[in-house]
Amino acid sequence: MDEPDTKAKLIDAEIKEIGKRIRRARLARKMTLTQLGGDDLSRSFLSLIEGGKSRISIKSLFIVADALDLPMSYFFGDEDDKSPLPSYDARVTSQTSKKITIELTVQPQ
């Protein structure tokens, strides 16, 4: 296999990985494709991205990162460095026989 074919395959693999990371982070937040895209990106477009069938632009990736509250770096690099959810501290602030109120505090990463 010549070098351009190898590079193209590596790029395609990375693009598919970005789609997988978007899906993992979206599902971890229990978001639908419609919620993720909001008024900016269609559900069908995001489905193609997550399935590795289409490429995402940097502008669209910024929109996705913002909706998921993730840094752009989440979508690139080693999987070991990626966590789809930030760390939280949780504490019960009130409790009755029918309701428990919990306060979540996001921890800096």
Q: Which two tokens stand for residue 17?
A: 């990985």
CATH number, span 3-106: 1.10.260.40
Q: Binning pLDDT at 50, 70 and 90, where does residue 108 land?
A: low
The C-alpha angle 5, 10, 15, rounded to 5 degrees, equals 125
With beta carbons less than 8 A apart as the criterion, state whether 87 and 59 touch.
no
Q: Lowest-pLDDT range, 18-22, 33-37, 98-102?
A: 98-102
57-70 burial by CB neighbour count: b if 16+ within 10 A, else e? eeebbebbbebbeb
pLDDT tens digits, 62-93: 999 999 999 988 888 765 555 555 556 667 77
The pLDDT assigned to 87 comes to 59
Among the listed residues 71, 30, 64, the one whose alpha carbon sits nearest the alpha carbon of residue 50? 64
The pLDDT assigned to 44 comes to 97
